[in-house]
Structure 1
Amino acid sequence: MARRVAVIGAGAAGLCAARHLSARPDQFVPTVYEQTNRVGGTWVYTDRVGTDEHGLPVHSSMYKNLRTNLPKEVMAFPDFPFDSSLPSFVTHQEVLQYLEDYTDHFQLRKHIQFLTKVDTVKPVTGAGQTLWEVTVSSVEEPEKITTQQFDAVMVCNGHYSVPYVPAIPGAELFQGRSIHSHEYRSPDDFKGKNVVLLGAASSGQDIALEISKMANQVVLSHGKPPLKSQLPPNMKQAPGVECFKAPKTVRFKNGEEFEADVFMYCTGYHYHFPFFTTECEVSIERGHITPLYKHLIHTSFPSLSIVGICCRICPFPQFDRQVLFAQAVLDGSFKLPAKEEMEEDIQRDFRHRLEAGKPPHHAHEMGEDQWEYNNDLSRLIGLAPLPKAVELVYRGVHSDRVNNLQHYKDGQYEITGPESWRKLE
């Protein structure tokens, strides 16, 4: 009998789950729960910040002029390329259209229940097996509540929607505008302002560059080695923030001070799974979710997987591998190691990160490790690895970005074979 699988979220990861599950109707019956009225997840842009028209927190962190920081040539799902006529670095509207096309091509809409919020996920164990009790409610009529049982749950709710704001001494003294990058939409609001952005990951760098076109001065404050690339004349770097010194003074860790009209936290996000009951035994410390074998499979409840928690990756190709791995666990074609072995694997992976100098909250950060990880998942379930060319283009773009932050998105790329690519002049 086909296994019933609840998929939480109809963003890229949830659509990928639905695509692979629905391709095997004799084995799986997916039900995708999506609390908005459309597919796309974080790629659905809205001018709104705070809460949406239903009073729910706005999920998307898209801003108006966003273009991807990876080229479409490495972003695509392995079995569904982007339109070749598009430039390499596409807009958020073009990514959303891609996800809409993916949904329609694989006929996924019939599996999705829109405007449906997952309230609780609870394991029910008996007769030697675990089932999952999933309680959902209608977003438009919250009193309409239904509970169903499933054989498995794939959590695909994303991790760019609940801002992480670090505590900074004196923050209550600051009388300028404080926002998180989650709420950033347009550079027009920063015309003539002096702005400090804390954090220089992708969004911090991109937003700082965009704001610099309108702002008076922009300071990018971060704890990384200084960016090598030439920056706009009104943009400079500073170390991390030591404290706020009222009412608009920001003091950096090197003792320098700056008078800021706006302070923007580009400090990342919390993992957030409000629907898990305590029986799910999922532990979340900042940036670290346990116990997940291969950053994916719950070691006590292998029919529960959390897809897409890794950061600094090519997301869509990795989602594809993770979904296929979770599916192989469910159908029994891949037999998991003993629980103790899985726990040891988790600890080994975590130690590797700490020994490489990463802080504990980077427990799921991949970067250079993503290729070995993707290949590992593929190998374990007998799949051919992702084309080496994807990794090679990723590395080429990274090099361009480091050396030419202002203009690297002008580049056009082409994959010419499984292990070959070129940059078009």
Structure 2
Amino acid sequence: MKTVGIIGAGAAGLCALRHALTASPNIVPVIWEQSKVVGGTWVYTDNIDKDDHGLPVHSSMYKSLRTNLPKEVMSFPDFPFPAEGDSFIPHAAMLRYLQDYSQNFDLERHIKFEHVVLEVVPSKPGASDTEWIVTVRDLTSDKLTTTLCHALLICNGHYSVPYIPSIDGIENFCGSTMHSHSYREASPYSDQTVAVLGASASGLDISVELCSVAKKVYLCHNLPIPFPAALPSNLEQKAGIVGVKQGTSNTLVLKDGSELEVDALLYCTGYYYTFPFLADSCGVTVEDQQVWPLYRHLIHCDYPTLAFVGIPTKILPFPLFDIQVRFFLRFLTGEMSLPSCSEMHDDALAYHNRCLQEGCPPKQLHLLASKQWDYVAELARLANLPNIPSEVRQLYELVHGIRKYDLLTFKQKKFVIGQDGIYREM
């Protein structure tokens, strides 16, 4: 029998558990979740600091959040969303979906809730066939247990530890500062002038929401061109922030040399990849937002029984998780072989160099965007798995295009994918 450990019971961890339970009679999964419930980052809380056990709050949900993708493309392949209702759903509906997924596949009885993983150590450091010694604390009893796992899936997510860039003189800034991880609602910014740094999904959505109560919102970013959609009249795009004017000040200095006087600064600058439970002997490094060394953004090149689910960004999350998990399990069950460790290293390095040659900044190594389709197709081909349906890709790309030019109203649209495999706007 092979004990397969899973860290985290968010979307990726639930998917890993669901497939591990049916992959082989010889696989026995064990999964640890530090909270009391399933759902991971989709579990909203008003808390912004510590949870009931004094641990940092994991979720980055804010009250009004609705998905930027329609539910018609977001489901796991074997568990569709209910057809009725809106396409762009609030976080509570997404959490209900994950709860229903867990109930449908009878997952919760396998989950060790309120258990936090403290340390992961290879049993045979340097050996590719190592097993994993996992030390866990039961948060209700404070009891420590150790489990030896044949393989381990890391599903702890990467939207919980805020990345805050260095800004010269920020210690002199007199206004309020906050990262979007701690943002819950707009009311604290009523009648204020607010600078939002970062124009990815959260930066755009939160900026628009702030405009309903703020006097003025500046969306500061380093995109080569302004975001093309129509924006609220009190929202203005500006260059990225590089400093605070010398002396105690509310004045921000921008990359183009201009200045802004604001009451508040909100960082929408993303998150770190963090694995605080991995011992140094696991041989995992995170530098400049690159998790290394990973074969196909997933499997440790030196220790192929260690997998990291959900590392890529700007992707269709749940379908990608599903294929990553089943790809790894095909290897564990012997239905598929992997290249040698040296070949996986060569593959990872070649991908890294190719990205650099294409002008991709090192910190965007895991950003897939349009490359996600080839990535998923290759995993599916190698593991003999069904690929993401073409109509799902088509709808994803349609919505991506609509959102770019219709940021304010695109979430009002409703889509369906019919039995004929064609999506339609309702």
TM-score norm. by structure 2 comes to 0.97
**CA apart distance, 1:356:** 2.7
Question: Aligned partners of 1:27, 1:204: CA distance in 2, in Å?
Answer: 46
* CA RMSD between the two structures: 1.3
Could you tell me which residue of structure 1 aligns to residue 399 of structure 2?
Answer: 397
**CA apart distance, 1:157:** 0.1
CA contact (8 A) 1:388 1:418 kept: no
- The 3 A distance-change label for structure 1 pair 356 and 417 is farther
Could you tell me which residue of structure 2 aligns to residue 337 of structure 1?
Answer: 339
Q: Report SS of the residue matched to 1:125.
A: coil
Question: Aligned partners of 1:159, 1:379: CA distance in 2, in Å?
Answer: 27
Report 1:254-293 matches (<5 A): 254-293=256-295
**CA apart distance, 1:130:** 1.6
Could you tell me which residue of structure 2 aligns to residue 252 of structure 1?
Answer: 254
Could you tell me which residue of structure 1 aligns to residue 104 of structure 2?
Answer: 105
CA contact (8 A) 1:164 1:270 kept: yes
**CA apart distance, 1:308:** 0.6
Could you tell me which residue of structure 2 aligns to residue 376 of structure 1?
Answer: 378
Q: Which residue identity lines up with residue 235 of structure 2 in the other structure?
A: M
Question: Aligned partners of 1:233, 1:357: CA distance in 2, in Å?
Answer: 35
- Aligned residues, how many? 422
CA contact (8 A) 1:249 1:258 kept: yes
**CA apart distance, 1:312:** 0.3
Could you tell me which residue of structure 2 aligns to residue 308 of structure 1?
Answer: 310
Question: Aligned partners of 1:357, 1:206: CA distance in 2, in Å?
Answer: 28
TM-score norm. by structure 1 comes to 0.97
Question: Aligned partners of 2:178, 2:147: CA distance in 1, in Å?
Answer: 39
**CA apart distance, 1:318:** 0.3
CA distances 1:266-285 after superposition (whole Å, capped 9, x unpaired) = 11101010010111111111
- The 3 A distance-change label for structure 1 pair 30 and 217 is same
Q: Which of these residues, 349, 353, 356, is aligned with residue 354 of structure 1?
A: 356
Question: Aligned partners of 1:112, 1:140: CA distance in 2, in Å?
Answer: 15
**CA apart distance, 1:65:** 0.5
- Divergent runs of 4+, >2 A: 125-129, 416-420
Say if 2:300 is the partner of 1:298: yes
- The 3 A distance-change label for structure 1 pair 108 and 419 is same
Identical pairs, percent: 45
Q: Which residue identity lines up with residue 217 of structure 2 in the other structure?
A: V
**CA apart distance, 1:419:** 5.3
Say if 2:216 is the partner of 1:217: yes
Could you tell me which residue of structure 2 aligns to residue 182 of structure 1?
Answer: 181
CA contact (8 A) 1:389 1:417 kept: no
**CA apart distance, 1:125:** 2.2
CA contact (8 A) 1:271 1:286 kept: no
Gaps of 5+ in 1: none
Q: Report SS of the residue matched to 2:363.
A: helix
CA distances 1:203-253 after superposition (whole Å, capped 9, x unpaired) = 000000011111010000001120111100000000111211141111212
**CA apart distance, 1:3:** 1.3
CA contact (8 A) 1:217 1:235 kept: yes
Could you tell me which residue of structure 2 aligns to residue 410 of structure 1?
Answer: 412
CA contact (8 A) 1:312 1:365 kept: yes
